[in-house]
Structure 1
Amino acid sequence: MELSPESPDFVTALARGIEILLVFSREKPELTLSEVSALANVAPATARRSLLTLQALGYVRSHGRRFVLTPRVLKLSASFLSSMNLQEVANQYLQDVVDQTGDSSSVAVLDSGEVLYIASVSSKRSVRLTAGLGTRYPAYATSLGRVLLAYLPPDRLDRYFAETDLRKLTEKTVTDPTELRAILAEIRAAGVASIQDELDYGVVSVSVPVFAESGAVVAAVNCSTSPSRISREEMLASRLPLLQVTSRQISETLRHNPALVHSVLGY
C-alpha cells in the first residue's frame, strides 16, 4: 500500500522526523539547524522542533550550535535485524563463500535507488571498498544493484531511471540510460551481473539474484574482490556456480522466514 502525503492517514511530523535523521551522513556527521533545514527541505522552525524532539528521545545530541546523532539510532536498525534474523539466514552461507574464494560476500536489497547491505562477511584481504550492515551504494554502478534492477517490473524500472541521477563514479561507470537498459536485459536473461572499476577503481564483483518461493527476486548475493587477484572474466566463470548454490541455500532458508520475505519484497 502506497500512501500519498496528501492522505489524512499520512503523519507529516513523523515523516519529517525520519527525514531529518537521514540527512546526517559520514560526510556530514555534525550539522547546524540551518544545515538540517536546508538538507531536509523543511522550514527552520520545523527542523528545530524535530531536532528538539529527537534530542528529548535520545536520538540526537547538541553541542554548541551543532547537532549529531547518538548511538541510540542503532536501536532502529537493531529491531529490524533481530526480528528478521538476517545474520542467521545469510551469514553461514556467506562465510562458506568467503572460505572457499577469499572474496568478500554480501546480500543486499534495493532501497530508494540504492543497494542496501543487509548481511555481509568480509575477507581478511585488504580491499578498496568495504561493506557492512547498512552500507549503501548507487544501484546502477554495482553488480548487486544491477541484478535487482534487472528484475524490476517495467514501470518501476522506468521510475528508477526518471528519478536517478546517473553520475560517473569512475571513468568506466556506465551512465547512459539506453546502454544500462541493454545491460539489465542481458542480466535478466543470464541471471548474473558482473562489474569492474565502475563503483570504484580496484573493485570487481559478481552477483546473482535471490528468489522467494513465489519466484519474485527479493535480494541479491555477491562476491567482490580486487582485479589484481582475479580478472572479471575469471571471476564470472569460477564464482558463478558457487553463488548459484548460495542463492538457492538462502532462498530455501527464506521459505522458513516469511516475515523476512514480506519485509524485503516492499523494496
Structure 2
Amino acid sequence: MLDAHGDPEFMTSLARGLAVLRCFADEQKPMTIAQASRATGLSRPAVKRCLHTLVRLGYAAQDGVSYTLRPKVLALGYAYLSSSTLAMRAQPLLDALRDELHESCSLGVIEEDEVYYVARAEVSRIMSIALRAGSRLPLYCTSMGRVLLAAMPRTEQEAYLRRTRLRSFTPSTRTDPGELVDTLCQVADKGYAIVDQELEHGLRSVAVPVLGKRGVVAALNIGTQRERIAEAELHSRYLPALRRVSEELRAIGID
C-alpha cells in the first residue's frame, strides 16, 4: 500500500520504488514502463523515475523499452535470509526431509494476506509455478496458508475472507467463505491441512504448523503429485515426518 494515511515520516518515493521492484517478482519477466504502471497502479512518469533510479543504482538494466532486474537485487533478499533465525535453522532440516522422503518441502509465513516462502528444498519441479524462497501464494487454497489461517481468531479469518478475491484456480478450488471457515475449523482441530488440486491440477500437499514463543509462527509442507502419492500415504508417512521436523524447529527455539 502506498497510502501514508497522513504519516509525516512516510517516504512515498521509497514506497513507489519498492512497489516497482515487487512487480518484477510478480510478473517474472522483463517489464516496460506501461506494464509496470498497470501492475503497480502508479503513473507512467512515476514508474519511469523509479526505473531510472534503479538502473543508476545498479538494481535494474534497460534494454530498449524493457527493463529487467540485475543480480544486485539479490542482496536485498539475502539480507533477510542471512538474519532470519527461522530461515537459517529451517533450511538444513528441510534439506534432510527432502532427502528422506524424496519430495519437495517448504516453510512459509503470513505476510500481507499471502503465504511467503522463506525456505524451500526441492527435489524436482512438480508445479507450473516456479517456487523458491521469496515466492508468494494465496492463503485460502494452499495447505500452508490454511494452517496459518486456522491459527487466527475466527473474526480475523472472516475479515481476511471478506477482503480477499477468492478466485478458482482449478474446478476443485474452494471459494465459498462459509465453507472455508468450516474447513479452517477442521484444520485447527486436526492440526494439519491437506489440499488436493485446489491450486493446480495434479498437485496435492500437506502442511503442519510450526510453533514458536508466540504460538504458530510458520507452516511446513510437502507437495506431491496426486497420481503418484495416495492421500493415505500423506497421513501414514508424510504427516508424521512433517510433525517431527516441526517439533525439531520448536525445540531449537523459533521466535
Fold equivalence (TM over 0.5) = yes
Q: CA RMSD in A?
A: 2.0
Q: Which residue of 1 aligns with 2:69?
A: 69
Identity, % of aligned positions: 35
Q: Which residue of 2 aligns with 1:50?
A: 50
Letter of the structure 1 residue corresponding to residue 93 of structure 2:
Y
Confirm or deny: 8 A CA contact 2:141 2:198 kept in the other structure: yes
Bigger mean CA deviation after superposition, 180-189 or 235-244: 235-244
Q: Which residue of 2 aligns with 1:98?
A: 98
Q: Secondary structure at the match of 2:165?
A: coil
Q: In structure 2, what is the Cα distance between the partners aligned to 1:237 and 1:178?
A: 30
Structural mapping, 1:137-176, within 5 Å:
137-176=137-176
Letter of the structure 2 residue corresponding to residue 45 of structure 1:
P
Q: Which residue of 1 aligns with 2:250?
A: 251
Post-superposition Cα deviations, 1:202-233, rounded to whole Å, max 9, x if no partner, equal 1111100001123x211000122112222123
Q: Which residue of 1 aligns with 2:34?
A: 34
What is the deviation of 1:28?
5.4
Q: In structure 1, what is the Cα distance between the partners aligned to 2:248 and 2:15?
A: 37
Q: Which residue of 1 aligns with 2:236?
A: 237
Confirm or deny: 8 A CA contact 2:193 2:207 kept in the other structure: yes
Q: In structure 1, what is the Cα distance between the partners aligned to 2:127 and 2:48?
A: 39
Q: How many residues align?
A: 252
Post-superposition Cα deviations, 1:163-218, rounded to whole Å, max 9, x if no partner, equal 2111111111111111111101110111100011111111111100001123x211
Q: In structure 2, what is the Cα distance between the partners aligned to 1:28 and 1:206?
A: 27
Post-superposition Cα deviations, 1:217-251, rounded to whole Å, max 9, x if no partner, equal 11000122112222123312322222111101112
Post-superposition Cα deviations, 1:81-129, rounded to whole Å, max 9, x if no partner, equal 11225554012222332233222111111122222111111225x6235
Confirm or deny: 8 A CA contact 1:32 1:66 kept in the other structure: yes
Q: Secondary structure at the match of 1:108?
A: strand
What is the deviation of 1:252?
2.0
Q: Which residue of 1 aligns with 2:136?
A: 136
Letter of the structure 2 residue corresponding to residue 229 of structure 1:
R
Bigger mean CA deviation after superposition, 228-237 or 243-252: 228-237
Q: Secondary structure at the match of 1:241?
A: helix
Q: In structure 2, what is the Cα distance between the partners aligned to 1:68 and 1:190?
A: 45
Letter of the structure 1 residue corresponding to residue 40 of structure 2:
A
Mark the runs of 5 or more structure 1 residues left unpaired by the alignment.
256-260, 262-267
Confirm or deny: 8 A CA contact 1:108 1:144 kept in the other structure: yes
Q: Does 1:222 align with 2:252?
A: no
What is the deviation of 1:26?
6.2
Letter of the structure 2 residue corresponding to residue 219 of structure 1:
A
Q: TM-score, normalised by structure 2?
A: 0.90
Structural mapping, 1:108-119, within 5 Å:
108-119=108-119
Mark the runs of 5 or more structure 2 residues left unpaired by the alignment.
none
Q: Does 1:8 align with 2:17?
A: no
Q: Which runs of 4+ in 1 moved over 3 A?
A: 25-28, 85-88, 153-156
Structural mapping, 1:200-211, within 5 Å:
200-211=200-211
Q: Which residue of 1 aligns with 2:196?
A: 196
Bigger mean CA deviation after superposition, 142-151 or 47-56: 47-56
Bigger mean CA deviation after superposition, 154-163 or 164-173: 154-163
